[in-house]
Amino acid sequence: MIDKEKVALFIPPGLKKFKQKLFEGIGQTIGRVVRDDPRRLDELPADVIPIVGCSPFLRPWYDKWRATGRTFIYWDRGYLRRVFATHLPNGNDLGIPGGYYRWHVNKFQMDEILDVPDDRWKFLKLEKSLRPWKKDGRRIVIADTLPDYWNLFADLTWSRRMAEYLRQITNRPVFIRHKESKVPLEEELADAHCLVAHGSIAAVEAVVMGCPVFVDSMSAAALVGKTRFSDIENPVYPDREKWLHSLAYCQYNEAELVNGKLWKLIS
């Protein structure tokens, strides 16, 4: 359990109104806020944990903290029952304002299967969305994402370079799916041999939809997929039960972000 008296929330500039409202609510609960200028994060006492999100200008701070071993908390939109940019049922279907957000200590996504019960997964009521593994697809779908992600975690050419590489090692059709495609993900995966992604949450959703994945090691889907892209002809089809339970324990809805539930569960 993390002491919420020893954390500081960074609120970046230029937020949309709904995000500003959420940030301010969390900030009031936490009590310590750093606004706008990331250089002020350097002024925090060594025993205070910065809470930061997916802002590309924070990359030097992430690099520095990981090199020095300083603890930080990263948060972003959740894995399941998120509201925006999702192809699974969203939080609105359960009457959950804002859906879910993932929070992790010293990492950007879940990187281990947790020993947790199934209660939070069952609460999400996504059993009907969970499809059996598909093993007879033909094409490879690469999930591209937006510049903010690439500028923080990789580079803008990753999807194109990956497509070129895969076309050299397989005869399968390779298709790049743009983040803002209007075609439902499940439709584009209907004839997919696998989905390839760096760290896009589309990979998590693909696994729920029964499509095997190849991803970067930072992706939560790496726990049920492969990270060796040269092995593209040999996907894996593991049991997903404990993985789904774990995902549900790594994300929190807006109420849980301010009522103390987050601080009881995050580690």
CATH number reported for the structural domain that contains residue 225 in this entry: 3.40.50
**How many residues are present in the chain?**
267
Confidence of residue 15 (pLDDT cuts 50, 70, 90): confident
In terms of domains, do 221 and 168 share one?
A: yes
Residues 17 and 92 in one domain: yes
The count of domains in the chain is: 2
End-to-end, the C-alpha distance of the chain in Å comes to 5
Residue 20 shares a structural domain with residue 105: yes
**79 with 148, same domain?**
no
Comparing C-alpha atoms, which of 211, 145, 163 is closest to residue 224? 211
Are residues 175 and 117 both part of a single domain? no
16 & 95 share domain: yes
Co-location of 157 and 109 in the same domain: no
Q: What DSSP character marks residue 43? A: G
Q: In the prediction, which pLDDT does 207 show? A: 98
pTM: 0.94
Percent of residues, the chain, with pLDDT higher than 70: 99
**Tens digits of residue pLDDT in 179-219:** 888 899 999 999 999 999 999 999 999 999 999 999 999 99
Residues 79 and 116 occupy one common structural domain: yes
Same domain, 120 and 250: yes
What pLDDT band is residue 249 in, cutting at 50, 70 and 90? very high
Amino acid in position 162:
M
112 and 148 in a single domain? The answer is no
Looking at the structure, do residues 178 and 219 belong to the same domain, yes or no? yes
- Are 104 and 215 in a shared domain? no
Q: Which amino acid is at 140?
A: I
Q: How sure is the predictor about 83, in pLDDT bands with cuts at 50, 70 and 90?
A: confident
pLDDT tens digits, 147-156: 999 999 999 9
Residue located via tokens 């019960």: 117
Start-end of H helices in 73-224: 119-123, 147-153, 158-169, 185-188, 202-208
Token pair, residue 22, equals 């959420």
Please give the mean pLDDT across all residues of the chain.
Answer: 93
Domain with 233, as residue range(s), is 131-239
Provide the pLDDT for residue 139.
97
